[in-house]
Amino acid sequence: MVINSGFQPAFKVWFEKGGSVFGEGLYDLLVGIDKSGSISGAASGMGMSYRSAWGKIRVAEKRWGIRLVTATVGGDAGGGSTLTGEARQLLERFRQLRDQTEQSVSNWYKKL
């Protein structure tokens, strides 16, 4: 009998600060903003409203005490959103932790 037959390990990774969580959802939203250059584009791609996305960003910014997104109002010149340096740093650290965890879990699973 093969011990690892029929199951797959699963895990979730997140950062906590003062009870506030930074996890996959906010990570995906910020990555979407970085790729699309807009909060509405990222929100739409995730099936959420602009208002909900902007609300999540504001709550995270307030609780974490850092600015994550800089938004420029539309008009003739157009608008858009960009990530701050702090947001990029947070994304990179989260990505590293998630990748390292995934590798560790994969290595563990292969040994079964």
Handedness of CA 39, 42, 46, 47 (dihedral sign): positive
Categorize the per-residue pLDDT at 1 as very low, low, confident or very high, splitting at 50, 70 and 90: very low
Calculate what percentage of the chain has a pLDDT beyond 90: 64
Structural domains present in the chain: 19-110 (1.10.10.10)
String of DSSP letters for 10-60: -----EEETTEEE-HHHHHHHHHHHHHSSHHHHHHHTT--HHHHHHHHHHH
Read off the pTM: 0.85
pLDDT tens digits, residue range 23-74? 999 999 999 999 999 999 999 999 999 999 999 999 999 988 999 999 888 7
pLDDT confidence of residue 9: 80
**Mean pLDDT for the chain?**
89
Q: Rounded to an integer, what distance in angstroms lies between the CA atom of residue 13 and that of residue 52?
A: 22
